[in-house]
Amino acid sequence: MTSAERVAVLGTGLIGTSIAMAARAAGEEVRGFDPDPNVLARAAERSGLRPGASLAEAVAGASLVFVCTPVPSVAGVVAEVLAAATEAVVTDVGSVKSHVLVEVERTVPVGDRRRFVGGHPMGGSERSGPDGASPSVLDGIVWVLTPSPDTKEAATARLSVWVEKVGARPVVMDPFRHDRLVAMVSHLPQVASTALMGLAATEEAGEPDILLLAAGGFRDLTRLAASSPHLWSDILLANRAQIAEAIDLYAKRLSEIRDMVIAGSGRDVERAFAEAKEARLTLTAKPTVRTGVSVLQLAVPDRPGALADLTACLGAAGVNIEDLQIVHSPEGGRGTVYLTVVSSAADEAARALQGRGFEPLRLA
Amino acid sequence: MTSAERVAVLGTGLIGTSIAMAARAAGEEVRGFDPDPNVLARAAERSGLRPGASLAEAVAGASLVFVCTPVPSVAGVVAEVLAAATEAVVTDVGSVKSHVLVEVERTVPVGDRRRFVGGHPMGGSERSGPDGASPSVLDGIVWVLTPSPDTKEAATARLSVWVEKVGARPVVMDPFRHDRLVAMVSHLPQVASTALMGLAATEEAGEPDILLLAAGGFRDLTRLAASSPHLWSDILLANRAQIAEAIDLYAKRLSEIRDMVIAGSGRDVERAFAEAKEARLTLTAKPTVRTGVSVLQLAVPDRPGALADLTACLGAAGVNIEDLQIVHSPEGGRGTVYLTVVSSAADEAARALQGRGFEPLRLA
| Cβ contact, residue pair A273, B332, below 8 Å | no
Q: Give the pLDDT mean for B245-262.
A: 97
Residue of B194, B231, B309 for testing the chain A interface, max A β-carbons within 10 Å: B194
Residue of A15, A93, A97, A125 for testing the chain B interface, max B β-carbons within 10 Å: A125
Q: What is chain B's length?
A: 364
Provide the pLDDT for residue A23.
Answer: 96
Residue of A145, A331, A348, A358 for testing the chain B interface, max B β-carbons within 10 Å: A331
Whole-number percent of chain B with pLDDT over 90: 62
Judged by average pLDDT, the poorest of A97-106, B301-310, B339-348 is: B301-310
| Cβ contact, residue pair A136, B194, below 8 Å | no
What is the edge-to-edge ordering of all strands in the sheet holding B293-299?
Answer: A361-363, A293-299, A335-342, A323-328, B323-328, B335-342, B293-299, B361-363
Please tell me which of the candidates A266, A269, A327 has its beta carbon nearest to residue B126.
A327
Helix (H, G, I), strand (E, B) or coil at A129: coil
What is the edge-to-edge ordering of all strands in the sheet holding B89-92?
Answer: B50-51, B29-33, B6-10, B64-67, B89-92, B116-121, B142-147, B169-172
Residues of B in contact with A297 (CB under 8 A): none
Distance of alpha carbon A298 from alpha carbon A310, whole angstroms: 10
Distance of alpha carbon A91 from alpha carbon A145, whole angstroms: 9
The pLDDT-based confidence of B22 (bands split at 50, 70, 90) is: very high
DSSP, residue by residue, A130-174: GGG--GGGSTT-EEEEE--TTS-HHHHHHHHHHHHHTT-EEEE--
Provide the pLDDT for residue A338.
Answer: 75
Provide the pLDDT for residue B328.
Answer: 46
| Cβ contact, residue pair A209, B181, below 8 Å | yes
Residues of A in contact with B250 (CB under 8 A): 195-196, 199, 254
Minimal Cα–Cα distance from B275 to chain A, Å? 7
Which residue from A minimizes the CA distance to B268?
A: A233
Residues of A in contact with B328 (CB under 8 A): 124, 126
**pLDDT tens digit string along B101-126?**
999 999 999 999 999 999 999 876 65
**pLDDT tens digit string along B188-230?**
999 999 999 999 999 888 887 788 888 768 887 888 898 889 9
Q: Is B325 left (phi over 0), alpha (psi -120 to 50) or beta?
A: beta
Provide the pLDDT for residue A217.
Answer: 80
Distance of alpha carbon A80 from alpha carbon A75, whole angstroms: 9
Please tell me which of the candidates B237, B310, B332 has its beta carbon nearest to residue A269.
B237
Query: Is pLDDT at B300 greater than 80 in this prediction?
Result: no
DSSP, residue by residue, B74-137: HHHHHHHHHHH-TT-EEEE--S--HHHHHHHHHHS-HHHHTTEEEEEE----S--SGGG--GGG
| Cβ contact, residue pair A144, B275, below 8 Å | no
Whole-number percent of chain B with pLDDT over 70: 89
Which residue from A minimizes the CA distance to B275?
A: A198
Q: Which DSSP symbol is given to A184?
A: I
| Cβ contact, residue pair B302, A136, below 8 Å | yes
Contact between B79 and B105 (Cβ < 8 Å): no
Q: How far is CA A42 from the centre of its chain?
A: 24
Helix (H) / strand (E) element for A92: namely strand A89-92
Q: Is B72 left (phi over 0), alpha (psi -120 to 50) or beta?
A: alpha
| Cβ contact, residue pair A229, B277, below 8 Å | yes
Judged by average pLDDT, the poorest of A138-152, B121-135, B259-273 is: B121-135
| Cβ contact, residue pair B224, A221, below 8 Å | yes
Distance of alpha carbon A4 from alpha carbon B197, whole angstroms: 43
| Cβ contact, residue pair A273, B229, below 8 Å | yes
Which residue from A minimizes the CA distance to B243?
A: A258
Helix (H, G, I), strand (E, B) or coil at B238: helix
Distance of alpha carbon A48 from alpha carbon A68, whole angstroms: 17
Minimal Cα–Cα distance from A353 to chain B, Å? 13
Contact between B52 and B16 (Cβ < 8 Å): no
Provide the pLDDT for residue B292.
Answer: 57
What phi and psi, each to the nearest 5 degrees, are found at residue B244?
-60, -40
Q: What's the pTM?
A: 0.79
Distance of alpha carbon B346 from alpha carbon A225, whole angstroms: 25
Distance of alpha carbon B10 from alpha carbon B32, whole angstroms: 6
Minimal Cα–Cα distance from A174 to chain B, Å? 12
Distance of alpha carbon B235 from alpha carbon B249, whole angstroms: 19
Minimal Cα–Cα distance from A179 to chain B, Å? 10
CB-based contacts of B322, cutoff 8 Å, min separation 6:
B290, B293, B340, B341, B342
Residues of B in contact with A204 (CB under 8 A): 279
| Cβ contact, residue pair A333, B141, below 8 Å | yes
Average pLDDT per 10 consecutive residues for chain A, totaling 364 residues: 84 96 95 98 97 97 97 96 96 96 96 97 75 83 94 97 93 95 94 96 84 79 87 94 97 97 96 92 53 70 69 84 60 60 84 88 69
What phi and psi, each to the nearest 5 degrees, are found at residue B171?
-130, 115
Distance of alpha carbon B345 from alpha carbon B156, whole angstroms: 33
What is the edge-to-edge ordering of all strands in the sheet holding A6-10?
Answer: A50-51, A29-33, A6-10, A64-67, A89-92, A116-121, A142-146, A169-172
Residues of B in contact with A240 (CB under 8 A): 261-262, 264
Provide the pLDDT for residue A88.
Answer: 97
Average pLDDT, chain B: 88
Provide the pLDDT for residue A293.
Answer: 63
Helix (H, G, I), strand (E, B) or coil at A102: helix
DSSP, residue by residue, B300-356: ---STTHHHHHHHHHHHTT---SEEEEEEPTT-SSEEEEEEEEGGGHHHHHHHHHHT
Please tell me which of the candidates A136, A262, A326 has its beta carbon nearest to residue B323.
A326
Residues of A in contact with B228 (CB under 8 A): 277
Query: Is pLDDT at B289 greater than 60 in this prediction?
Result: no
From residue A257, alpha-carbon distances to A268, A273, A304, B184, B194 in Å are 9, 9, 42, 15, 9
Contact between B289 and B141 (Cβ < 8 Å): yes
Provide the pLDDT for residue B287.
Answer: 40
